Structure 1
Amino acid sequence: MPDPRTTQDDQAALYRALAAGEHRSGGAGRGTVAFAVSTDDVEAGAGDVYVALGLAKYLARRGWGVLLWPTERWETPLPEDVTVVVSMIESFVPGLVPQHVGLVAWVRNWTDVWAEQPWLDEYDAVWTSSTAARDRIAERTERPVRVLPIGVDHELFTGERDGRDDVDVVTTVNFWGAERLGTAAIDVLAESRQVVWYGANREHLVRSGRIEHRGHASFFDLPAVYASARVVVDDVIPPARAYATHNSRLFEGLASGALVVTNCDEGLDELGLEGVPTYEDGPGLVAAVADHDPALVERLRAVVLDRHTYAARAEAADEDLRRAVTARAGRTGADRGAFLVWATTVRKQLRTAEHDRDVHFAGVHDINERLVAAVADAQRAAAETAEARAAVAALTAERDRLAVRLDEVTRSRTYRLAEQVARLAHRR
């Protein structure tokens, strides 16, 4: 593994190498950890991938081999060198994981969905992001459940600037079609503060004209974005707020030296971050952003760097991973039984159907948008044409009226008499 004192480009290259499987062989006989993730494309913007790679980077330093096992490979045999699988996605079904391979679930979000999985007891250990989530999962399984929140790669989010201009307030919340609690609050904040918004689908986000939208930012751009900001606004979705499972943005922004403001005050105390300002609406956000104490920012940053780095997470995870491998050693069987093999196949079919549905809906939506736009253009053109025709008709009518009046005037006795007088005057 490279020396920690590397550039941001070196860190990005390391992440790409980890995603490409270049560190799948460990150096201390620990075995290989496969992370079941949505994709192995580090440019796709999938949060589960960056969390997996953050932990994988520091597990590799502890002697583990690491690799990503993306969705499209879940229905294929697991690589033979894998000794333990960490599931990052609630839709993962472990039917094709051999009996001798350890299984760990990382419940980072969607706690209720995880709790209702009928195969939850297949996991040798479960990690959750909060005590509330741990208690919910523990109701559904006899397996060990540990609180292991997501964290931050402190070697990537260093707080070092790249020369870009200072930003007063920044948010990096993506827009996926549904209005979020923080969206309206940021509108209110923009009335009095400079707000820069990085996020996907900005073209569909109709917001205040005072907000500067800069579009999607790559994960590897975020360290500089946060380091340039005075305040970072976080927005935790309702399923996460229900169990106080906080976003990576909380840890990454604080590690970068910015003050993070969030709409979820639950769970901050158990993270040691009880000083983080919170909001529930626009006026609350305005007040929270105004409460900027440099000493508080430095204290919160110190807590994150001490307790919430992926180096610390890897140290805690190492024990569970080794225990899972040991517990499964010697077991036989190429899969987890007929039911889970069947469930794996059904889940693939459902996932394909969901994808096809989304593609179909996207196509229909696109056609509908173009149709609506075409109708609007036609109506506008028709209205413009009708207006132009009306103007021409009005002018024509006025011309004809004046022509008739002119004819009437020139034929009148008064006009003819005046014309004769004018001729006589001209002859003189």
Structure 2
Amino acid sequence: MTAPDPSPERDEINELLRQLEAEKAGAKYWRDAARHRQGLLDEIKGRTSVRAVLSIERRATPLRRRIRTSADAARSTLGMLLVAAEAVPHRRALSERQSAIDALTSALEPPEPLREKTTVVVVGTADLPGWATALRSEQTTVHTASTPAEVSGVLEGTGDEAELVCIVDSDVEPLTPGWLARLALSMRGAGAAAATAVMVHPRRPLKSATPHDLLVRSAGYHVDESAGAPHVKALLAAADPTTVTDDTVALAGGGLFLVDRVALVAAGGYRPHGSCDVAAIDMSLRLAAQGGVIVRSGPTLAVDHRPTIPSDRTGRLLFDEGSRNWSDLLDRHGPALMHLTPRGTSAKASFWLTVAAPNRKVADRWGDWHLAQALARAMADLGHRAAVGTQAELDEPARKAADVHLVLRGLASSPRSSGQHNVIWVISHPEDLDSAECDEADLVLVASPLFATHLRTSTATPVEVLLQATDTDRFRPATDHARRHDLIVVAKSRDVMRPMVADAIAAGLRPSIHGSGWDGLVDPDLLVTDHVANEDLPALYAGAGVVLNDHWDTMRTWGFLSNRIFDALACGTPVLSDPAPGLQETFGDLVPTWNDPEELRRAVERSLTMDRSAFAQRARAWIEANHSMAHRAVELVDFLVTHGLIDEYTRRSRPRNAR
């Protein structure tokens, strides 16, 4: 963070900065403690009895691994056999299919000669196949690249003379005479940036045959959606290749395509990726972002000898969606792919909210999980798709495909994806945030005006204030008005005596305590339960006479107001709190504060004897008018509009610059 400013008028901020550095030192202490515990664990593992158990475990591990490998191989073999069995009834039709293809390719009129200078790159081989050698002419140069990573180097080495660039996988065999000129003609006629051929399944040996042999493998690609994630699928898969006509397509596959060199350079060039298909999809999306159109040349057929995905018996999928290639593509282009789905073409911006909870098994015990769920519901009420995920779900395709990744920043940071708008909402633990994390975001939201002011001095990323809030549909006054406890505390102790409990006891009060870690710190008779399920909180707050609140030191120092204040006031219940910056500005006189036990005792007495009905109406009205989650959803969208991340009128996401 920024070094302290020595000027007198900055004394208060400097003191806060010193406290923040102290909190960071405290965080380092706990990291060191974790390393110490790991050392103790290693020592335990070194004991004789433990070593014996671990030895058995190590010996069993290779056997389990071999069993899993054998099972996977058996499943793969079984899948191939099932596909081959399905292909048997179709074997008689193969001759007819072959004859139809031959008749089509031989009946086509020769295309006009290729006008444009063209560079052809055959990928995956060092030796040119015969069909590639035959292309060489004054207009056409042919090169090889062993991997997709070498293609960009080959293109750079050819200079700027070529007007068109053709990329062909070495396992693809063009069938149609004059195929290169036909692709160029299709591009020229449609004013397109790129053209792709129709890929046909080969006639395979019986043991590896499929029902799709000599039918269309792909005629370009489109994007479908399920469970909030995109899936790239072949157009016209298993169709008769002789019936395919020219048309525009969303995406070109990497088997064979032709692209205008000027358009390619304007879109950022050909980028090396793990496969030709990933590179082609990446290129297609960048061309589309520049307004480029991709066409399919119907009569241009090519046999695609590349293996299909074993798990995809339909033959429609372009990618193994468990592969690193697919994951990397989603990182770069997840939202852009979703925008090509039928629903994505007109939908408002979509959101994925990530919380610090490690996984869904324990998420219910994390307050930020429920805060995020409430915000997601409010976003849905505005017409946006919004989902909530934990740290364990950061690699989920649906997360990478959302337009906006909103991280509720508490105890854990989250990686960014270059294809998304990345937004951080700092709701707690400011001591754990650094400027580098903020610099990588597109927008930083902070639940504290004081910390937002400080943060603006340490990052170039825009910083806005977005306070915490409550779900007013869930947190509301009780209907039976029965008071279950006069004074309640709903908080963990973290094994220290919190000020609100210490002062209450010193004042002679008997708070009913709900939360863990209080054993040995207070009279056991004060303990009601060590955990309150979130669904039970509204009734607990609504049935209390007074709710006590305090803040952890860093939260109080930097003005991060506790979420329980918003929740309890929405229930119409009085709240007493320790002083914190921004408390009066946010709640006016609704939340009295105390500084010592006697002040606390008097404040509790006043709260218990005042007109509860009048207070409840006033508190509820204030929260509904200013601090509902519906308000925060509107504010969030407005901030995204202000900073150019979504469109003001359509509320659709504005695409990130091609990267």
Give the TM-score taking structure 1 as reference length: 0.65
Equivalent in the alignment of 1:222: 537
Equivalent in the alignment of 1:255: 570
Equivalent in the alignment of 2:560: 245
1:162–1:218 CA distance, 2 compared to 1 (3 A): farther
1:205–1:263 CA distance, 2 compared to 1 (3 A): farther
SS at match of 1:88: strand
Equivalent in the alignment of 2:372: 52
Equivalences for residues 4-83 of structure 1 within 5 A: 29-39=347-357, 40-41=360-361, 44-74=364-394, 79-83=399-403
Equivalent in the alignment of 1:329: 655
Give 1 or 2: higher strand fraction.
2
Contact 1:23 1:60 in 2 (8 A): no
In structure 2, what is the Cα distance between the partners aligned to 1:290 and 1:41? 41
1:165–1:91 CA distance, 2 compared to 1 (3 A): closer
When structure 1 is superposed on structure 2, of 49-58 and 83-92 the one drifting more is 83-92
Match of 1:267 among 582, 595, 620: 582
Measured against aligned partners, the alpha-carbon deviations of 1:138-193 in whole angstroms (never above 9, x if no partner) come to: 1112222211111010000011257865321111011222332223123234x34x
Match of 1:182 among 500, 513, 524: 500
1:267 alignment partner AA: G
1:208–1:284 CA distance, 2 compared to 1 (3 A): farther
Equivalences for residues 192-341 of structure 1 within 5 A: 192=509, 194-202=510-518, 204-209=519-524, 211-292=526-607, 293-294=610-611, 295-322=614-641, 323-325=644-646, 329-333=655-659
In structure 2, what is the Cα distance between the partners aligned to 1:297 and 1:158? 9
1:332–1:241 CA distance, 2 compared to 1 (3 A): same
Equivalences for residues 334-413 of structure 1 within 5 A: none
Equivalent in the alignment of 2:276: none
User: Within the alignment, does 1:131 sit opposite 2:439 as a pair?
Assistant: no
1:205–1:118 CA distance, 2 compared to 1 (3 A): farther
Q: Which segments of 5 or more consecutive residues in structure 2 lack a partner in the other structure? A: 1-225, 230-337, 648-652
SS at match of 1:158: coil
Match of 2:420 among 72, 93, 101: 101
1:165–1:275 CA distance, 2 compared to 1 (3 A): closer
1:205–1:72 CA distance, 2 compared to 1 (3 A): farther
Contact 2:363 2:390 in 1 (8 A): no
Equivalent in the alignment of 2:304: none
SS at match of 1:269: helix
Contact 1:161 1:228 in 2 (8 A): no
Greater relative contact order (CA < 8 Å, ≥ 6 in sequence): 1
Measured against aligned partners, the alpha-carbon deviations of 1:295-336 in whole angstroms (never above 9, x if no partner) come to: 445423321121000011111111234532468614334xxx
1:51 alignment partner AA: L
What's the % identity of the aligned pairs?
A: 23
User: What's the offset of the Cα at 1:113?
Assistant: 2.7
Contact 1:104 1:321 in 2 (8 A): no
Q: For this pair of structures, how many residues does the alignment match?
A: 308
Equivalent in the alignment of 1:14: none
Give the TM-score taking structure 2 as reference length: 0.43
1:174–1:22 CA distance, 2 compared to 1 (3 A): farther
In structure 1, what is the Cα distance between the partners aligned to 2:402 and 2:228? 12
2:409 alignment partner AA: I
Give 1 or 2: higher helix fraction.
1
Alpha-carbon RMSD across the aligned residues, in angstroms, is 2.8
User: What's the offset of the Cα at 1:87?
Assistant: 1.0
User: What's the offset of the Cα at 1:99?
Assistant: 1.9
In structure 2, what is the Cα distance between the partners aligned to 1:155 and 1:33? 21
User: What's the offset of the Cα at 1:76?
Assistant: 6.3
In structure 1, what is the Cα distance between the partners aligned to 2:517 and 2:480? 26
In structure 2, what is the Cα distance between the partners aligned to 1:144 and 1:228? 42
In structure 2, what is the Cα distance between the partners aligned to 1:205 and 1:65? 47
In structure 1, what is the Cα distance between the partners aligned to 2:622 and 2:401? 37
